Amino acid sequence: MKKYFFVVIISLFFNPDTWCQPSVYLPVEDSLAKRPMPKWFGDAKLGIFIHWGLYSVPAYAPPELNPGDVKDWEEFYRNNPYAEWYMNTMQFEESKTQQYHRKTYGKDFSYYDFIPIFNESIKAWNADKMMSAIANSGARYVVLTTKHHDGFLLWPSQVPYPVSSPTKHKLSAERNIVGELCSAARKNNIRFGVYYSGGLDWSFYHVPINNLWPNLFFSMPKSATYADYTAAHINELVQLYKPDVVWNDIQFPEKADFLGLLANYYYQVPDGIINDRWNTVYKKLYGYKTPEYQVLTEKTNYKWETCRGIGNSFGYNKTETDLHHISADKLIDMLVDVVSKNGNLLLNIGPDASGNIPELQLQRLQALGNWVKQYGSGIFETTPYLQAEGKSSQKARIRYTQKGNTVFVFFLDKILGNTIELLDFSNVKIESIVALGNKPESISWSLKNNAPIVQWQNDWQNEYASVLKIILK
């Protein structure tokens, strides 16, 4: 039985005031499953994912494959577009990544030989500068990779590495990246979350397998030793940084005390939340679902968050060009589409080894932030409307959100002409319709057969999505 189990139990029996607090949950499934989703997460809508680590040094992956359209998993892993999977992809004989590694660094250069290069590079990193770019995007929360699949840590953990190390180098960064970014985020009133690779740790277990995924060279450690190691890491991150999100990846060791870990987290961080990539046994114990490079087709009654890179990789990939990055227009459309269907968008940036956000990514963040400054009131703190998608008298992609008696209408396409009939509001009592943004006077409206007809001046429609605000009676 783990010590963190006793933390919760002792607090219950020796502090009677906590008995009535909704933040205290017993380490049993029925108790933990009753915990509601924190309101802040439903309101936040936009987060920034950060994939940053040793893989940011080589910063290489074949950029061609689109992660959202995988048809052949063996081809995907051999030509993996995720630069953060460099350590795994370089094991494939004659793969492009292996060829690049040998040509650039030599056959005898180990993946972990990137550690001193990374530590030297991060001396130039400015946490406030990184967080300023994130804040300017309009994001309400940030999630940092604290340990990816390579096992390298971005904080000075006091948990000892429990088996023989695969390298002479220390498996953690010389700067406390997690702590510094956490402080920078909270100075900017941005919620701070931690990503942790619970299921995969290539530093821990070096055995080629064929029964997990095709040609995935390193398997998921199953030992109690590894389970204790990962649980201790999560509890340490919770104790030190009180993360608003704990975002686990590729499941969590079955031998770990997941219930005790979760009860401790909810006690330490009363409005914290976890994702759904933890446990296949306790299927009710998750905060939200996490499709990757996918947008759901329908509005849901459960909370979800899609995560994706600005390019085809999460980690920085210097081979990606502008063609491999989502355009600002499509990015803004995606945010609107996701929010209209009860989702959040967790948009990833991949800094280089020194912590600089590449220019192509900065351009998208800036465009997103500029749009959010004008139209964010139709995004943040909203709920889905009766339907996500709208109908009109013209062919146009329309999305809806709602806040109280206000409905926000997003036009994802330029509308031909200067008039549109909003068919979904026939026989709906309307108090007013105004343009959202910096040109509220540029539209007028009237009723025709009990349906609103909206007219606008030539300069009303935006380069990106334009928005109307309908106030209902």
pLDDT tens digits, one per residue of 187-242: 999 999 999 999 999 998 655 444 444 455 557 888 999 999 999 999 999 999 99
Does the residue 110 lie in any domain?
yes
3-state secondary structure at position 410 = strand
Query: Which of 2-6, 73-77, 90-94, 355-359 holds the top average pLDDT?
Result: 355-359
- Based on the fold, state whether residues 370 and 390 are members of the same structural domain: no
User: Nearest 10 degrees: CA dihedral of 38, 42, 44, 49?
Assistant: 90
Number of Cβ within 10 Å of residue 227's Cβ equals: 19
Lowest mean pLDDT among 94-98, 300-304, 379-383: 94-98
Structure tokens at 103: 């040509």
Whether 255 contacts 285, CB under 8 Å? no
Number of Cβ within 10 Å of residue 270's Cβ equals: 15
Does the residue 282 lie in any domain?
no
Q: Give first-to-last CA distance, the chain, whole Å.
A: 58
Q: Is the pLDDT of residue 336 over 70?
A: yes
- Based on the fold, state whether residues 421 and 319 are members of the same structural domain: no
Q: Which candidate, 266, 264, 268, 244, places its Cα nearest to that of 256?
A: 264
Q: Helix and strand tally (H, E) in the chain?
A: 13, 15
The Cα–Cα gap between 251 and 121 comes to 31
- Based on the fold, state whether residues 193 and 251 are members of the same structural domain: yes
Does the residue 62 lie in any domain?
yes
3-state secondary structure at position 383 = strand
Number of Cβ within 10 Å of residue 66's Cβ equals: 11
Task: Kindly report the average pLDDT of the chain as a whole number.
Answer: 91
Q: Which phi and psi (to 5°) does residue 390 adopt? A: -115, 165
Looking at 378, 406, 425, which one is the last position of a domain?
Answer: 378
Residue 441: what pLDDT? 74
Whether 178 contacts 144, CB under 8 Å? yes
Does the residue 273 lie in any domain?
no
Helix axis angle for 3-14 and 258-268, nearest 10°, is 50
- Total domains, the chain: 2
Structure tokens at 365: 């963040």
User: Nearest 10 degrees: CA dihedral of 375, 377, 380, 385?
Assistant: -100
Which distant-in-sequence residues (6+ apart) come within 8 Å of 38 by Cβ? 271, 272, 273, 287
By CB atoms closer than 10 A (0-12, 13-18, 19+), residue 436 is buried
Residue 349 one-letter amino acid: I
pLDDT band at 20 (very low <50, low <70, confident <90, very high): very low
Work out the average pLDDT over 19-44.
85
269-327: pLDDT as tens digits: 999 999 999 988 898 999 999 999 999 999 999 999 999 999 999 999 999 999 999 99
Residue 448: what pLDDT? 87
3-state secondary structure at position 385 = strand
- Based on the fold, state whether residues 344 and 465 are members of the same structural domain: no
Q: Give the residue carrying structure tokens 């250069």.
A: 109
Segments forming the whole domain that contains residue 249: 36-256+288-378
- Based on the fold, state whether residues 366 and 406 are members of the same structural domain: no
421-466: pLDDT as tens digits: 999 999 999 999 999 986 777 899 999 888 999 999 877 888 999 9
Q: Are strands 406-411 and 398-403 parallel, antiparallel or unpaired?
A: antiparallel
Structure tokens at 84: 């953060």
